Structure 1
Amino acid sequence: MILTSPAAPLRFVGWTAERVLEAAERDYYDLAAIRGMLTDAFRRFEAGEMSEEEFDGIEDQLLERLAEAERFHGLR
């Protein structure tokens, strides 16, 4: 126990980093959130709040992210 005590803070930092990464992945690959962003972008485009070019760029990015998220979740 005495030999592992000095490493405890390092293990805690590693554990914490893993939890942060897991939370970030959950947020980034959240299918519902990505679909919501697509819906919001379309709503803003329809309301005239963004140009077709802006919408196309955002849509392309979000569709790529959605496909990546589906692969992450094993859906593709």
Structure 2
Amino acid sequence: MGLVSGLLLLPLAPARGVVWVAEKLQETAERELYDPGVVRAQLAALNRELDEGLIDIDEFEAEEEKLLDRLYAAQARSGTRYGR
């Protein structure tokens, strides 16, 4: 970047910084959302809640479906496939 363009674009630096931070936060959130280990731990916790009677079978099945969808999406993103 040249001196003139650097000076002209200087007022936009804070906005570019905010955009960069937002992109990094989004990347981190997606990585955690689609982390197979996190999803498996949530599935295990969901099973414990069902076993302990904290949730009923309908609530369990609804949450399980959401978690399994996230797990399959994570596997698709990473290129690994396991039986459904």
TM-score (ref. length: structure 2) = 0.81
For 2:55 and 2:14, the matched residues in 1 are separated by: 49
User: Where do 4+ consecutive residues of structure 1 move more than 2 Å?
Assistant: none
Number of the residue aligned with 1:10: 15
- What per-residue deviation string (whole Å, max 9, x for no partner) do you get for residues 15-49 of structure 1? 11111111111111111110001001111111111
Alignment of 1:40-51 (within 5 A): 40-51=45-56
Segments of structure 2 that go 5 or more residues without pairing to the other structure are 1-5
> Alpha carbon RMSD of aligned pairs, Å?
1.2
Matched to 1:69, the amino acid is A
SS at structure 2 position matched to 1:50: coil
**What is the number of residues matched between the two proteins?**
76
For 2:40 and 2:19, the matched residues in 1 are separated by: 32
Alignment partner of 1:34 is 2:58:
no
Per-residue deviation at 1:74? 2.0
The higher relative CO (CA closer than 8 Å, separation ≥ 6) is in 1
Segments of structure 1 that go 5 or more residues without pairing to the other structure are none
SS at structure 1 position matched to 2:67: helix
**Structure (1 or 2) with the larger CA radius of gyration:** 2
Aligned residues: percent identity?
A: 38
